[in-house]
Every structure is written in C-alpha cells, then in structure tokens.
Chain A
Amino acid sequence: MTMAMALDSGLAVVVLAVAGWTIAARGTFAAVVGFVSYGLLLTLVWVRLEAVDVALTEAAIGSGLTGALLIGAAARLRAGEASPVEGPGVVLRLEIAVLSATVAVALAIAVLLLPDPAPTLAPAAAENATATGLGNPVTNVLIAFRAMDTLLEKVVLALALVGVWSLAPDRVWGGYPGPRHRSDPHGVLAFFARLLPPLGIVVGIYILWAGADHPGGAFQGGTILAAMWLLVMMAGLTDAPPVSRRWLRLVLIVGPVVFLVVGLGGLWLGDAFLAYPAAHAKPLILTIEFAMTLTIAATLGLLLAGPPERKLS
C-alpha cells in the first residue's frame, strides 16, 4: 500500500464520517457546520481525482457559498426550531434505510463494473484544442465544445433569481433584498470587510484570467467576486441594490446576451450556432468569459441576498 493510497483511503473514510454526521446531527447549526467541512474535504477529493477545475468550483461554491446560504437560513429559522417535528417511526426508518442502502449498493456495483478500457473524450479534446487557442481543456469544453450547456446553465441561474425575487410580497417589489446588516463601523468585522475585498478582487480576476490555460475560469472567479460583495454587505458597509435598478438588470443579463450574440454571429460568420470563427476564437471567448464573470458574480450575490424585503424609500 503506497503512501498516496493510504491518504486516499483515509480521506474517503473521513468524508463518509462527516457526511453521516450532517444527516444524523440533532441541531441544524451542527449539521450545517458538518456540511461546510464536508465541502472542504470534497475539494481535496477532487484534487486527488486530478480534477483541479472541479476542486476550485467545489471550494468556491460547494463549501463557501452554500455554507453561507444554509447558515443564514438556519439563523433566521431558529425560532421555528423550538417545536421539533416528529420524524417517521422506527419501522419506517428501517425500511428507508434498507431502500437507501440498496441504491448505494447498486451504485457501488455499477462503479466496480465500469468498462475497463474506459471510454474517453480526452484525445478528442486534445486534438481540437488548437481551434480555440486555450490551454485548459475544461474551459475548452465549457465554452466551446459544449457551449450550449454553459449558455443554458446561465439561463438557469437567471431563472433561479427570477424565482427568488418573485417570492417578494407586492408591497416591497422593486425594493432592497434581504435584511439590512449592521455592525460596529470601527469594529473588527468592518475592518476585515474593508481589507479583504481588494485582495479578493485581485484573486478573483487572476483565477478568471488563469482559466484560459490553467485551472480556473468564469465560475470560480465570479464566485469569489460574489463572496467579496456579500462580505461587504454583511459587514453593513453597503446595502444591497434595489432589484428594480436598471444597471443591475443590465449586469444580470450581460453574460448570456454577449454569449448569445457571439453564438448567433457564429451562424453568420462561422459554420453553426455557437461556432467561433477560427481567427478570432480566443478574443471572443475571453470577452464572453469576462461578461459572464460579471453576471455570475451579481447573480450569485443576489441569490444569497434573497428576495426584496424592504420598500424603496
């Protein structure tokens, strides 16, 4: 058993232990702390699976933003937890456990029976990498080979935000999202929220830029920017913008719109929808990535801020 194998097995055991804890924990807060730890450990698992791009995404979204989302919800729901609701009885629990175990075992068998020379598209991705001029194969897949997925996924983000906003009561429509946060303006949190975002913005843009040739890209960079924005809002240094602001709406759609325009342009100049003209592939892709980063940062930030709750004064 090599050192690496020991590390991987140990990591798998810890991951499963923490996963079990998030399900079994009594208190919601304890479960959410467990989930954030789980996200962090998953980041390491993705690193061990040599999927560094996914590790970056998991670090940013899986652990950071989802953790903040769930803990915020748990804090606001705390009053409701005083009256615990009865779960299913012992017999039913046992039946559910058997069902879940069956599903898990079936999946495990499927994993063990995966075909041996594994089918792969890696050689195809490598062959066509020259078409875009980008060195990162995952960015190539996201933005060129499977561009339609990525475009539609941006639309899903926008739809989720529309869904969240539509939960606002009529009286406050167009107003400020979420509660207003306050903190001591000379306190440690305000200090932190002034110091960290400049550094975070540099790192976010760096990750976006590195995404062309190394692991990174629009999602990961955009998520870091969103987290920095949320930090400033949480420290009460700035308020979330009212959802009816025109500039905000523009930022929220600029990514998909640029993507669509370039895609339709491909119909005109290139061979097909979303086909990039070979000579200008790289600058076009970078433009799309930049616009998408802005949109992703704004959308993720507003998804966490929640529906409008305060009237436009």
Chain B
Amino acid sequence: MADFLIAVAGFVLAMVALGLVRVLRGPASADRMMAAQLLGTGGIAALLLLAAATDMPALVDVALALALLDAFASVAFVMGGSRSEVREPDATEPHEHGA
C-alpha cells in the first residue's frame, strides 16, 4: 500500500512538473500563474499521499501551511501581474515612475 501511495505521489508530481512547461512557454503571465497554481495543488496532494504512505501525520500540517501560503502567493501574483495597486492621490513620492 505504501509503495502504491508513493508511486501515485510521484505520478502526480511528474504530471504537475510537466505542466511547468507552461511556465516556460507562457505566453501570458496568466498562463505562467496557472502552471504555478497547478504545481501548488499537486504538491499538496503529494504531501498528503506521502503523509499516509510514510506514516508521518505532521506532513498534513505542512500541506495545511502550504495551502494557506499558496493562496497568499497566488493573490500577490495576480495583484502584481495585473497592476491593480492604486496610489493615494496624495502619494508623496519624488518621482512617479510607472506607478
């Protein structure tokens, strides 16, 4: 059983790693982000499978942290990728380069 679960974890990882080719090819930022998100989900799945296979329940905590931080990083990506940040009108900067 443990071997089966490890094999599936490896399979899922291989799949999402293959998906990373999208990070290489793009073309849009959105495509790259999607590949990263798929990798995040696949990594979480692999962690859960390894937790069951190697009998290390603490790995579920790692998956939990990863799920939370992954969401955070993805939002930061979307914000950064789509320039949705808006300056205050009274922003006090010497030069307003590309803000």
Answer whether A47 and B75 are a contact pair too, CB < 8 Å, given A64-B70, A224-B69. no
Query: Which listed residue, A210, A231, A313, touches B61 by the CB 8 Å rule?
Result: A210
Closest to A230 in B: B72
Task: Report A-chain residues with C-beta under 8 Å of the C-beta of B59.
Answer: 47, 52, 55
CB distance from A97 to the nearest CB of B (A): 21
Docked Cα-Cα span, A66 to B53, in Å, equals 30
Answer whether A169 and B94 are a contact pair too, CB < 8 Å, given A47-B47, A52-B56. yes
> Does A37 contact B20, Cβ atoms closer than 8 Å?
yes
B→A interface (CB under 8 Å):
3, 6-7, 9-10, 13-14, 17, 20, 23-24, 26, 29, 32-33, 35-36, 39-40, 43, 46-47, 50, 56, 58-59, 61-62, 64-66, 68-73, 75-77, 79-81, 83-88, 90-94, 97-99
Please tell me if A182 contacts chain B, counting CB pairs below 8 Å.
Answer: yes
> Does A80 contact B73, Cβ atoms closer than 8 Å?
no
> Does B91 contact A310, Cβ atoms closer than 8 Å?
yes
Docked Cα-Cα span, A214 to B23, in Å, equals 36
Query: Which listed residue, A10, A37, A203, touches B10 by the CB 8 Å rule?
Result: A10
* Interface range, A side: 35 or more
Closest to A215 in B: B58
CB distance from B39 to the nearest CB of A (A): 5
Docked Cα-Cα span, A79 to B96, in Å, equals 11
CB distance from B35 to the nearest CB of A (A): 8
Task: Report B-chain residues with C-beta under 8 Å of the C-beta of A175.
Answer: 92
Please tell me if A240 contacts chain B, counting CB pairs below 8 Å.
Answer: no
Which of A172-207 touch B at CB < 8 Å? 172, 175, 179-183, 189, 192, 196, 199-200, 203, 206-207
Which of A52-82 touch B at CB < 8 Å? 52, 55-56, 59-60, 63-65, 67-68, 71-72, 74-76, 78-80
> Does A4 contact B73, Cβ atoms closer than 8 Å?
no
> Does B69 contact A227, Cβ atoms closer than 8 Å?
yes
> Does A55 contact B69, Cβ atoms closer than 8 Å?
no
> Does B65 contact A171, Cβ atoms closer than 8 Å?
no
> Does B40 contact A196, Cβ atoms closer than 8 Å?
no
Please tell me if A294 contacts chain B, counting CB pairs below 8 Å.
Answer: no
> Does A64 contact B61, Cβ atoms closer than 8 Å?
no
Task: Report B-chain residues with C-beta under 8 Å of the C-beta of A192.
Answer: 71, 75
Docked Cα-Cα span, A6 to B9, in Å, equals 11
> Does A52 contact B86, Cβ atoms closer than 8 Å?
no
Answer whether A10 and B61 are a contact pair too, CB < 8 Å, given A60-B69, A192-B75. no
Closest to B66 in A: A59
> Does B75 contact A189, Cβ atoms closer than 8 Å?
yes
Please tell me if A291 contacts chain B, counting CB pairs below 8 Å.
Answer: no
Answer whether A3 and B7 are a contact pair too, CB < 8 Å, given A64-B69, A180-B86. yes
Task: Report A-chain residues with C-beta under 8 Å of the C-beta of B83.
Answer: 75
Query: Which listed residue, B14, B26, B61, touches A215 by the CB 8 Å rule?
Result: B61
Which of A18-40 touch B at CB < 8 Å? 18, 21, 29-30, 33-34, 36-37, 40
Answer whether A37 and B79 are a contact pair too, CB < 8 Å, given A179-B99, A310-B90, A310-B92. no
Please list 15 pairs of residues, one from A and one from B, whose beta carbons are closer than 8 Å in the complex, sorted by A's number. Answer: A3-B6, A10-B13, A33-B23, A34-B23, A36-B36, A47-B47, A52-B58, A76-B98, A169-B94, A171-B92, A180-B86, A181-B79, A227-B68, A230-B76, A231-B72
